[in-house]
Amino acid sequence: METTTSGLEPGLYIVAGPIGNLGDLSPRAADVLRRADVIAVEDTRVSARLLRHAGSDRPMIPYHDHSAEGVRQRLIESMASESVALLSDAGTPLISDPGYKLVRDARAAGRNITTLPGPSAAIAALTLSGLPTDRFLFMGFLPAKQKARADALAEVAALRATLIFYESGPRLSESLAAMAEALGDRDAAVSREISKAFEETRTGTLTGLSALYADAPPKGEIVVIAGPPGEAPPPSAEDADAALIEAMERLPVSKAAGKVAKKLGLDRRALYARAMELKG
């Protein structure tokens, strides 16, 4: 394959930058930023500081997913013979940041694509939370409007996973209260300014954290971690009876017992015997 004047292969380089402390920039990422033919950035003013730290004087081109189609196509055309680095304002590009359309179209065009892994605020906050990490879902920013936010939370309320959200200081208390209402008052953590001088993580319940920040909205970049739902209590005898009576209005006794057993996780034979008592 043809190489660029920088020595890098032509193509797209997805570069993870620091989320706070500039020292978190990897040596490999710094090398690519110094050698790339062009750097596509979210905001030239923000990226200029990082490039100075990396010792890079490479030209920057503003790019985000709402850029004109022509900007994206010019970048993809240039990848045939030049190295293009993609850099977001903080952390890993594409994680609640611009870039996926560029990657999608570059792949469709047959361009070489590689990623330089590094910091991500979502994963960093998850490790700080002390909440389960074996299964999690990144939700990004919740909608600003109340109904849309409630609908988004309702979609994941039953999911047995830790949930990760990005949020702003002024909206934090209200969002935490909305989470508590939709998800139940789960264990949670709020992390802000990760890897910076004033890094802070507060833990508690969604309701408690909402009250904590109600009169003192925090500053900085914020990640909210909501733990998975707690174990549901076993169904009571009254719950089982009600479910059997409802099911027997539509089904024979045997099928009603089987349906309720599956729904409530109870023994089918015991439910069948109880259903016969109720019917009698």
Q: At what angle do helices 253-264 and 237-248 cross, to 10 degrees?
A: 140
| Percent of the chain as helix, strand, coil, to the nearest 5 | 45, 20, 40
- In this prediction, residue 1 carries a pLDDT of 43
Partner residues linked to 62 by β-bridges = 41
pLDDT tier for residue 3 given thresholds of 50, 70 and 90: very low
Arithmetic mean of pLDDT, 224-245: 86
Residue 26 has pLDDT above 60, yes or no: yes
Second CATH level (architecture) for the domain 122-226: 2-Layer Sandwich (3.30)
What pLDDT digit, counting tens, does each position of 164-203 carry? 999 999 999 999 999 999 999 999 999 999 999 999 999 9
Tokens representing 95?
Answer: 């994680």
Residue 231 has pLDDT above 90, yes or no: no
Arithmetic mean of pLDDT, 225-245: 85
The yes/no answer on whether domain 11-119 falls in CATH 3.40.1010.10 is yes
Rounded distance between C-alpha atoms, residue 96 and residue 278, angstroms: 55
The neighbour count for residue 111, using CB atoms within 10 Å, is 20
What pLDDT digit, counting tens, does each position of 258-269 carry? 989 888 888 999
Question: At 221, is the secondary structure helix, strand, or coil?
Answer: coil
- In this prediction, residue 220 carries a pLDDT of 85
The proportion of the chain whose per-residue pLDDT surpasses 90, expressed as a percent, equals: 79
What pLDDT digit, counting tens, does each position of 77-122 carry? 999 999 999 999 999 998 887 788 899 999 999 999 999 999 999 9
pLDDT tier for residue 239 given thresholds of 50, 70 and 90: confident
Partner residues linked to 141 by β-bridges = 166
Single-letter code of the amino acid located at 57: D
